[in-house]
């Protein structure tokens, strides 16, 4: 028996064994052996999913494809001689599965001509494969989920066969041309050559779209081919407004409703090129609408070069004005020659908290003095000793012990990042939040439900507070452009993702997070996030949220995992596999 726990420590399982493969051949052996023994098998990446999507069931098999698996970290820029001329364009890289997002970003940036990922989630500790598998997205307004950068997958299916899954216009040349090209390569990227020689190529749009966000059931992904881009710089600006002001300006224009109606008509009644054209038109209409809407919140009203956009709303009103702080973070493409600004050290947070505690109640005055005293001590002692983490621990302890102080603290922490940051794309797109562990849920809603959904969350926070239950973090709102992925949250329409993040171990979180998720799903036709989910989603939610869900199930059941090898409690509960089916019986 071996125990595995996810990053959030809310998922734990006693596995029969945890295997650490070192090659494609070993991944195949593990799956084949599991099939022979009639056992279910799951892979985990960095374990950053809060849902049960990555764990195996008790006494079944786990495969460690996390960044700790040092053997599956090869990566290379793909030699142009291997690429199908019809698919050539931006640079392509091939990456083995255990590579973390931050490792990939650093490696891309270190290339002779620096490269970059076009999209990254709010953190970068996930594996690139694990992140894509649940639909991880960032704040990039035009890109969609990270899975949109995938161009091909090397997978080991439920019977241990290796497939190279590509769209109908494949990335790699056909088999004969590839063989010829491979002989001309020098000894570099032997691992990729081996994978290309081993895998059976399948160029099929549906299969590829199923693999884009595969939630761990489309096979063991051994490696992925990604389209990346030349490195770029971003200028980020965070400004403070109020939610009341933001929502007063959030009105969907009539053109958006018309474009949506036209898309729904086309989607239900056309096919082929007409459908593709309608989809492109709808995508463009949404993008233009969003730009128009977001311009209203720009510090200087200029949306030129807009790359990311997000709102962070304090769930609690400011005591003096009764309004909810709303921080607007935008980033725009910056000139290559701009100079980076240094990151905020953790101690500056304390200073910001100190400044924020201006309310005159005796308790807050006392707290302020305590912070001031603590700050002096920390400054003298802890900075010299380099113990920033202790400071964070103390703050987190304080919040957990006296969560009623959360309203000021949320503002204070977010205010610490007010102003501008400038830097390389991967530094600006992610935030260093690993000093504090959080828990969270996220639900995607249509742009026209944004205000109601947030107002409901604020009302819930107020009601919870009366019962001494607290949300110990802000509500984040990010926009996700459309994706071809069958299980993409934005497969049919751009979504605004409503994310509730709280400190890990916040009292009552196990009840409040699922409750809030349920409310967003039920009242706002929400779409659940495969990783940021508190295990409340049902098969009905999956069918309603994901239009291509049945097609996805069919592809998994008929092609990729006919014996339910990759099933677990989670994937059965959401209906990807028939409830109660065991590995070894038909998936559909």
Ligand X SMILES: Cc1cc2nc3c(=O)[nH]c(=O)nc-3n(C[C@H](O)[C@H](O)[C@H](O)COP(=O)(O)OP(=O)(O)OC[C@H]3O[C@@H](n4cnc5c(N)ncnc54)[C@H](O)[C@@H]3O)c2cc1C
Q: Is residue 152 part of the contact set for ligand X (CB under 6 A)?
A: no
**Considering beta carbons, is residue 134 or 286 the nearer one to ligand X?**
134
Cα–Cα distance between 306 and 586 in angstroms, integer?
48
CB of 564 to ligand X, least distance (A): 14
Identify the helix (H) or strand (E) that includes residue 244: helix 243-248
For position 7 contacting ligand X by CB under 6 A, the verdict is yes
Distance CA 526, CA 308 (A): 22
Total residues interacting with ligand X, rule: CB under 6 A: 36
Q: Minimum CB separation from ligand X for residue 131, in Å?
A: 5
123 touching ligand X, by CB under 6 A: yes
What is the three-class DSSP state of 334? strand
Considering only residues 433 through 452, tell me which ones interact with ligand X, judged by CB under 6 A: 433, 438
Residue 329 touching ligand X (CB under 6 A): no
Among 21, 121, 526, 557, binds ligand X (CB under 6 A): 121
Select the residue interacting with ligand X from 131, 234, 445, 516 (CB under 6 A): 131
Q: Residues 221, 228, 494, 587: which binds ligand X (CB under 6 A)? A: 221
Report, in Å, the least distance between residue 50 CB and ligand X. Answer: 7
Nearer to ligand X, 122 or 503 (CB): 122
Phi and psi torsions of 264, nearest 5°: -65, -35
Say how far apart CA 82 and CA 84 lie, in whole Å: 7
**Residue of 41, 83, 104, 122 interacting with ligand X (CB under 6 A):** 122
If one asks whether residue 10 binds ligand X (CB under 6 A), the answer comes out as no
Asked whether position 97 contacts ligand X by CB under 6 A, the answer is yes
Residues with Cβ within 8 Å of 7's Cβ and at least 6 positions away in sequence, in order, are 46, 47, 48, 125, 437
Q: What minimum distance in Å lies between the beta carbon of 499 and ligand X?
A: 8
Helix intervals (H) in 77-160: 101-109, 128-133
Which tokens is 516 given?
């809030």
Give the orientation angle of helix 346-356 with respect to helix 388-401, to 10 degrees.
40
Q: Per CB under 6 A, does 83 bind ligand X?
A: no
Q: Tell me the window of 115-123, 174-182, 238-246, 412-420 that interacts with ligand X (CB under 6 A).
A: 115-123
**Binding residue (CB under 6 A) for ligand X from 24, 83, 117, 129:** 129
4 forms beta bridges with 13
In the block, which residue shows the tokens 């992904």? 221
Distance CA 141, CA 478 (A): 8
Per DSSP, the chain holds a count of helices (H) and strands (E) of: 20, 21
Residue with Cβ nearer ligand X (119 or 171): 119
Of these, 28, 42, 151, 421, which contacts ligand X (CB under 6 A)? 42
Indicate the angle between helix axes 190-198 and 175-184, nearest 10 degrees: 160
Q: Among residue numbers 49 through 68, which ones bind ligand X (CB under 6 A)?
A: 49, 53-54, 65
What's the min distance (Å) between Cβ of 201 and ligand X?
A: 19
**DSSP strands (E only) in 425-486:** 438-445, 475-480
| CA gap 22, 15 in Å, rounded | 20
H/E segment holding residue 400 = helix 388-401
Residues within the interface to ligand X (CB under 6 A): 7-8, 42-49, 53-54, 65, 97, 121-123, 126-127, 129-131, 133-134, 136-138, 215-216, 220-221, 433, 438, 529, 531-532
């Amino acid at each position: 028996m071996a125990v595995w726990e996810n990053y959030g420590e809310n998922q734990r399982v006693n596995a029969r064994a945890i295997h650490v493969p070192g090659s494609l051949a070993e991944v195949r052996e593990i799956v084949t052996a599991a099939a022979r023994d009639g056992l279910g098998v799951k892979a985990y990446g960095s374990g950053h999913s809060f849902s049960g999507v990555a764990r195996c069931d008790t006494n079944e098999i786990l495969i460690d494809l996390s960044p700790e698996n040092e053997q599956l970290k090869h990566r290379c820029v793909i030699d142009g001689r291997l690429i199908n001329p019809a698919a050539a364009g931006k640079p392509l890289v091939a990456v083995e599965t255990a590579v973390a997002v931050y490792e990939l970003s650093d490696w891309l940036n270190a290339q002779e001509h620096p490269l970059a990922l076009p999209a990254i989630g709010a953190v970068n500790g996930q594996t690139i494969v694990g992140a894509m598998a649940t639909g991880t997205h960032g704040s990039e307004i035009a890109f969609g989920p990270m899975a949109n950068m995938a161009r091909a997958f090397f997978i080991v299916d439920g019977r241990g066969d290796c497939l190279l899954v590509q769209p109908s216009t494949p990335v790699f040349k056909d088999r004969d041309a590839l063989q010829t090209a491979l002989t001309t390569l020098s000894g570099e990227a032997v691992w990729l050559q081996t994978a290309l020689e081993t895998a059976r190529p399948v160029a099929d749009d549906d299969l590829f779209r199923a693999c884009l966000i595969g939630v761990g059931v489309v096979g063991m992904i051994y490696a992925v081919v990604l389209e990346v881009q030349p490195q770029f710089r971003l200028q980020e600006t965070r400004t403070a407004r109020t939610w009341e002001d933001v929502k007063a300006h959030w009105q969907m224009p009539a053109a958006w409703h018309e474009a949506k109606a036209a898309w729904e008509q086309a989607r239900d009644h056309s096919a082929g090129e007409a459908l593709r054209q309608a989809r492109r038109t709808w995508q463009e209409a949404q993008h233009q609408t969003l730009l128009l809407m977001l311009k209203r919140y720009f510090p200087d009203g200029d949306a030129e070069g807009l790359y990311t956009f997000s709102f962070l709303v304090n769930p609690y009103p400011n005591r003096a004005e009764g309004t909810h702080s709303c921080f607007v973070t935008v980033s725009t493409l910056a000139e290559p020659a701009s100079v980076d600004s240094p990151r905020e050290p953790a101690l500056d947070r304390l200073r910001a908290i100190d400044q924020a505690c201006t309310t005159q109640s005796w308790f807050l005055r006392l707290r302020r003095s305590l912070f001031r005293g603590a700050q002096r001590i920390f400054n003298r002692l802890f900075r010299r000793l380099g113990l920033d983490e202790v400071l964070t621990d103390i703050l987190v302890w304080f919040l957990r012990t006296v969560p009623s102080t959360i309203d000021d603290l949320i503002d204070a922490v977010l205010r610490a990042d007010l102003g501008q940051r400038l830097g390389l794309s991967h530094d600006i797109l992610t935030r260093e939040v690993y000093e504090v562990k959080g828990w969270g849920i996220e639900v995607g809603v249509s742009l026209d439900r944004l205000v109601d959904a947030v107002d409901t969350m604020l009302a819930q926070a107020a009601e919870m507070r009366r019962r001494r239950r607290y949300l110990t973090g802000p509500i984040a709102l990010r926009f996700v452009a459309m994706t071809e992925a069958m299980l993409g949250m934005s497969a049919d329409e751009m979504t605004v993702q409503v994310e509730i993040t709280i400190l890990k171990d916040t009292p009552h979180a196990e009840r409040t997070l699922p409750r809030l998720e349920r409310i967003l799903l039920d009242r706002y036709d929400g779409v659940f996030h495969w990783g940021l989910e508190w295990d409340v989603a049902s098969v009905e939610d999956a069918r309603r949220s994901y239009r291509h869900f049945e097609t996805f199930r069919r592809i998994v059941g008929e092609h990729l995992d006919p014996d339910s090898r990759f099933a677990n409690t989670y994937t059965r509960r959401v209906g990807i596999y028939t409830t109660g089916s065991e590995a070894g019986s038909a998936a559909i």
